[in-house]
Amino acid sequence: MLVLIVPRVVGLIVKNHKVDEVTASRKFYESEVYSLLEEEDTKLWHLSPLTLFNMYDEEAATGNITFPEG
């Protein structure tokens, strides 16, 4: 599932943060959001790439992550 989600999140980082794909990939892979996404029991893989991007963006800006209600 990550194979489908991660490229779309990275694409949103590239588009919204005006960085290249390598930098965007590195930043996302180093994020807490990605670490949580890797953990099966968090079920974050069911969230949309846009929601995951917003969580990543919040983490990058504030150091905090807000989980969507569900």
pLDDT at 70: 57
Q: Is 24 a domain residue? A: yes
Q: DSSP letter string over 2-35?
A: HHHHHHHHHHHHHHHHT--HHHHHHHHHTSHHHH
pLDDT for position 41:
94
Q: Does the structure show a pLDDT above 90 at 69?
A: no
Q: What is the pLDDT of residue 47?
A: 95
Residue 70 inside a domain? The answer is no
- Is position 8 within any domain? yes
Whether 66 is in a domain gets the answer no
- Count of domains for the chain: 1
**Residue 66, pLDDT above cutoff 60:** yes
**Domain range for residue 28?**
2-61
The answer as to whether 68 is a domain residue is: no
Say if 22 falls within a structural domain: yes
Structural domain contains residue 28: yes
Contact between 60 and 27 under an 8 Å Cβ cutoff? The reply is: yes
User: pLDDT tens across 4-58, in order?
Assistant: 999 999 999 999 999 999 999 999 999 999 999 999 999 999 999 999 999 999 9
Distance separating alpha carbons of residues 44 and 19, to the nearest angstrom: 25
